[in-house]
Amino acid sequence: MTWLDVPHDSAFGVANLPYGVFRREGQTARVGVRVGDHVLDLAGALGDDVFDRPSLNAFLAQGGRRWREVRSRVQELLTDPAHRDRVEPVLYPLAGVELLLPFEVADYVDFYASEQHATNLGRMFRPGGEPLTPNWKHLPIGYHGRAGTVVVSGTPVARPSGQRKAPDDPAPTVGPSRRLDIEAEVGFVVGVESRLGQRVPVTDFAEHVFGVCLVNDWSARDLQAWEYVPLGPFLGKSFATSVSPWVVPLDALRHARVAPPPRDPEPLPYLHDAEDWGLDLRLEVRLNGHVVSRPPFASMYWTAAQMLAHLTVNGASLRTGDLYASGTVSGPERDQFGSLIELAWGGQTPIELPGGETRVFLEDGDEVTITGTAPGPDGTRIGFGEVTGRILPTP
Amino acid sequence: MTWLDVPHDSAFGVANLPYGVFRREGQTARVGVRVGDHVLDLAGALGDDVFDRPSLNAFLAQGGRRWREVRSRVQELLTDPAHRDRVEPVLYPLAGVELLLPFEVADYVDFYASEQHATNLGRMFRPGGEPLTPNWKHLPIGYHGRAGTVVVSGTPVARPSGQRKAPDDPAPTVGPSRRLDIEAEVGFVVGVESRLGQRVPVTDFAEHVFGVCLVNDWSARDLQAWEYVPLGPFLGKSFATSVSPWVVPLDALRHARVAPPPRDPEPLPYLHDAEDWGLDLRLEVRLNGHVVSRPPFASMYWTAAQMLAHLTVNGASLRTGDLYASGTVSGPERDQFGSLIELAWGGQTPIELPGGETRVFLEDGDEVTITGTAPGPDGTRIGFGEVTGRILPTP
């Protein structure tokens, strides 16, 4: 229990303590920890200049022992009233600070780890065929995205232009995307680098990965459909990827760990689960304030530990700030799908919004917000905050 | 003509002056310019601490006016004997310095811009079908690669492991790649960033791109073949990408500019050539010292200016240090193919090396070196140096 005025059932109590980067007016950006509706200035509270920086990266690079030290010191500062006088002056109301991109993204990889999502897309795009490609159950499929266009929640997203060509069009045209979509995903932030040529086994997941954030992988389906054979998505994705401002440490997710779903066939040995790294994160997707989906992350076929083992099995090195995302989180029920193309089934069942409005894809001015929580101790919840963005017309 | 002892026909005379990062024993890394077989310490020669850094990025960010100022000042220092006494002490023989990765790679994109290469691969992988995908002549196909595993020439490359499955195998297995290949490419280094949401037209290519290097995009064909449908190459490429230590400024390539090949159909307006940005770079690929190919860059279907316009047409922003590569350079003749899989036609015509050895793919211990030159003034050549790497066994 903290001496701060935070309700016991807050999703941002001392069992959570996610990290971000904030700026007060006229001040430089610094690392902070969220508690309740406040942010604790870590440089101010701990007197360590690793936090007096505009990104988490220097702290992330310090590794697990240090992450745990800082977490337990912050918990002590916030629970022992003896520290109150010293800590209160460096606690700022969230309403008065600006939240920035929490880390400098090194490489960004996006996976495709939801069986339901991959099956849904396979059914829509290859009707009559096998919905999953032959490799899907043998490896977590992934590809590199554009690190330089990862933006923090709240950044407006301009509708991208590009080439699109429907199957019946005689030739491609260029113009604003007409099939602008979202993908509700969960992101994993690498702290500790690895050496080139050396794989990271599934057992070492928590030594390298610091924490978890929410991701909206905005997707222009028409651009993507025309460009992606044979080398994969490019401009259909690279215009923007939004992340939540808070990175929840793995240490706050102990109560969220669950067994992953059964796999058939048995994965190759380098992908064997060593521990349960399924995570019972519950996402919620709102379109213009209206809940349109509740994707369950626990249903993901591949865990984040398996994704990391796969990403490095060829000897590719990790850097501090690497971000990898899960791919769209879609559960088995229709109201659990993590993208509009699935929710509206490519236009066959438009999404109904209050006031008689419907959507198949995003319109200019639409706002999408993804939130998430996970189980915490004693029936509480661990909050992830939100990742939100509004669509602007093509400039 | 320089006062240095550099032959008039040197590929590294004052018409070239490529930039790199070097380190003398016991010293910190600094930016230098190559002239003949020497490197000029720019911080020492110009007294500007933008060069007293371990990467070119700070200088690249300064933009075209500054790039031209520095180039012309360096040319003056090296040609006017009045500067000799001051400059000679900060000129070091290349043999005594270590060359490092010349810039911090922000995002890395790889294109697929050689019609001959795409056709060759289409013929091998989809016999009987159309060798080019329907989008190929409408847009420069590209995808993001792993920026964190871009390494400088000379870095050994460990043979990657991963999943491979031949069509007849009942299930995938994991192990060292058996089809390890090269791709001889040309890379373009972005200096000046662009704003998110704002496209960079073909006309602005030279305002954003600083210069050109050589790239070897090492490729594990067996890993790639099993993983790449539907989201593109991932582990088949991400273990290493080698670049030459010298970045040749666009300003040194005026005599290399040529008209690109005719395009049919006419590209969409945003891809119209504004100026001729075809480049008559001649590459040479050596395997264990033996020339196996001479790929002509002038044959590329898409220019680097078109690639940049396409990369940003959706509003994706550029950052200083972005690297984009052309894709394998393959000319129409068999001895002009830029990858082993083309040269050996997938195993049908093994490459013959002196001493009766043959190769289809790379063996442990093999060394691949790619060099390149372009036309300079008065019949001289502009040298790119080399990108080289030796294959080590899987650790």
Chain B interface mutation, best of A159, A231, A264, A394, highest count of B Cβ atoms under 10 Å: A231
Rounded distance, CA B216 to CA B231, Å? 22
Decide if B141 and A199 are in contact by the 8 Å CB cutoff: no
The percent of chain A in helix, strand and coil, each rounded to the nearest 5, is 25, 30, 45
- Chain A from 119 to 148: CB within 8 A of any B CB: 133, 135, 138-139, 141-148
Is A143 marked as a binding-site residue? no
pLDDT confidence of residue B127: 86
User: What is the nearest CA distance from A217 to chain B, expressed in angstroms?
Assistant: 14
Q: Which two structure tokens, joined as six digits, stand for A109?
A: 């990889």
CA distance to A56, A170, B23, B131, B321, per residue, from B262 (Å)? 50, 21, 45, 19, 31
- Binding annotation of B for Ca(2+): 110, 183, 185, 217
Measured between CB atoms, does B111 come within 8 Å of chain A?
no
Of the partner residues A223, A270, A310, the one whose CB lies closest to the CB of residue B314: A223
Give the H/E segment covering residue B10.
none
User: What is the nearest CA distance from A176 to chain B, expressed in angstroms?
Assistant: 8
User: What is the nearest CA distance from B119 to chain A, expressed in angstroms?
Assistant: 13
- Chain A from 327 to 386: CB within 8 A of any B CB: none
Residue B107 is given by DSSP the state: -
Decide if A151 and B270 are in contact by the 8 Å CB cutoff: no
Decide if B234 and A107 are in contact by the 8 Å CB cutoff: no
Whether A22 and A99 have beta carbons less than 8 Å apart is answered as yes
Active site residue A8: no
Give the H/E segment covering residue A177.
none
Is A217 marked as a binding-site residue? yes
User: What is the nearest CA distance from A346 to chain B, expressed in angstroms?
Assistant: 19
Q: Report chain A residues whose CB lies below 8 A from the CB of B230.
A: 133, 141, 228-229, 232
- Chain B from 267 to 286: CB within 8 A of any A CB: 268-270
Of the partner residues A162, A311, A316, the one whose CB lies closest to the CB of residue B314: A162
Question: Domains of chain B (ranges plus CATH)?
Answer: 19-100 (2.30.30.230), 108-392 (3.90.850.10)
Rounded distance, CA A164 to CA A181, Å? 15
Chain A with chain B: Cβ pairs closer than 8 A: 197
| Model pLDDT for residues B182-203, shown as the tens digit of each residue | 999 999 999 999 999 999 999 9
Is A371 marked as a binding-site residue? no
Q: Which two structure tokens, joined as six digits, stand for B355?
A: 């001493």
Is A306 marked as a binding-site residue? no
ipTM of this complex: 0.97
Give the H/E segment covering residue A348.
none
Rounded distance, CA B96 to CA A317, Å? 29
CA distance to B134, B178, B355, per residue, from B216 (Å)? 27, 18, 26
Chain A interface mutation, best of B200, B231, B317, B318, highest count of A Cβ atoms under 10 Å: B231
Decide if B316 and A227 are in contact by the 8 Å CB cutoff: no
Helix, strand, or coil here: B120?
Answer: helix
Rounded distance, CA A152 to CA A93, Å? 19
Q: Is B85 exposed, middle or buried (0-12, 13-18, 19+ CB in 10 A)?
A: exposed
Measured between CB atoms, does A239 come within 8 Å of chain B?
yes
User: What is the nearest CA distance from A46 to chain B, expressed in angstroms?
Assistant: 31
The percent of chain B in helix, strand and coil, each rounded to the nearest 5, is 25, 30, 45
Specify the pairing of strand A209-216 against strand A241-243: antiparallel
Decide if A139 and B196 are in contact by the 8 Å CB cutoff: no
What are the φ/ψ torsions at residue B128 (nearest 5 degrees)? 90, -25
Q: Report chain B residues whose CB lies below 8 A from the CB of A139.
A: 163, 172, 227
pLDDT confidence of residue A2: 84
- Tally of CA atoms within 13 A in the half-sphere of B208 that contains its CB: 28
DSSP per-residue letters across B151-213: EETT--EEPPEEEE--TT-SS-EEEE-SSEE--EEEEEEE-S---TT----GGGHHHHEEEEE
**Which of B66, B313, B343, B14 has its CA nearest to residue B184?**
B343
Helix, strand, or coil here: A209?
Answer: strand
Decide if A158 and B197 are in contact by the 8 Å CB cutoff: yes
- Chain A from 192 to 231: CB within 8 A of any B CB: 196-199, 220, 223, 226-231
Q: Which two structure tokens, joined as six digits, stand for A304?
A: 């984040």
Decide if B199 and A161 are in contact by the 8 Å CB cutoff: yes
Rounded distance, CA B96 to CA B24, Å? 7
Decide if B239 and A315 are in contact by the 8 Å CB cutoff: yes
CA distance to A124, A272, B343, per residue, from B223 (Å)? 27, 19, 20
Rounded distance, CA B386 to CA B372, Å? 7
Residue A350 is given by DSSP the state: P
Whether B232 and A143 have beta carbons less than 8 Å apart is answered as yes
Decide if B147 and A151 are in contact by the 8 Å CB cutoff: no
User: What are the residues whose beta carbons fall under 8 Å from the beta carbon of A1, sequence distance 6 or more?
Assistant: A8, A14, A79
Decide if A143 and B232 are in contact by the 8 Å CB cutoff: yes
Decide if B315 and A232 are in contact by the 8 Å CB cutoff: no
**Which of B142, B336, B153, B341 has its CA nearest to residue B241?**
B153
Decide if A268 and B315 are in contact by the 8 Å CB cutoff: no
In angstroms and rounded to an integer, the radius of gyration of the C-alpha atoms of chain A is 21
* Residues of B involved in catalysis: 117
Q: What is the pLDDT along chain B (395 residues), one digit of tens a residue?
A: 789 889 888 999 999 999 999 999 999 999 999 999 999 999 999 999 999 999 999 999 999 999 999 999 999 999 999 999 999 999 999 999 999 999 999 999 999 999 999 999 999 988 888 999 999 999 999 999 999 999 999 999 999 999 999 989 999 999 999 999 999 999 999 999 999 999 999 999 999 999 999 999 999 999 999 999 999 999 999 999 999 999 999 999 999 999 999 999 999 999 999 999 999 999 999 999 999 999 999 999 999 999 999 999 999 999 999 999 999 999 999 999 999 999 999 999 999 999 999 999 999 999 999 999 999 999 999 999 999 999 999 99
User: What is the nearest CA distance from A120 to chain B, expressed in angstroms?
Assistant: 14
**Which of B333, B272, B259, B340 has its CA nearest to residue B300?**
B259
What are the φ/ψ torsions at residue B315 (nearest 5 degrees)? 90, 0
Give the H/E segment covering residue A163.
strand A161-164
User: What is the nearest CA distance from B282 to chain A, expressed in angstroms?
Assistant: 26
In angstroms and rounded to an integer, the radius of gyration of the C-alpha atoms of chain B is 21
Helix, strand, or coil here: A242?
Answer: strand
Is A69 marked as a binding-site residue? no
Decide if B316 and A198 are in contact by the 8 Å CB cutoff: no
pLDDT confidence of residue B71: 98
Q: Is B268 exposed, middle or buried (0-12, 13-18, 19+ CB in 10 A)?
A: middle
Place of tokens 């390494």: B151
- Binding annotation of B for Mg(2+): 217, 237, 241
Q: Which residue of A has its CA nearest to B136?
A: A227
* Regions of chain A short of the pLDDT cut 50: none
CA distance to A374, A389, B51, B100, B104, per residue, from B28 (Å)? 47, 44, 11, 11, 16
- Binding annotation of B for substrate: 112, 126, 224, 228, 328
Rounded distance, CA B248 to CA B34, Å? 10
Catalytic residue selected from A117, A144, A272, A290: A117
Rounded distance, CA B119 to CA B121, Å? 5
Whether B246 and B385 have beta carbons less than 8 Å apart is answered as yes
Place of tokens 């319109």: A363
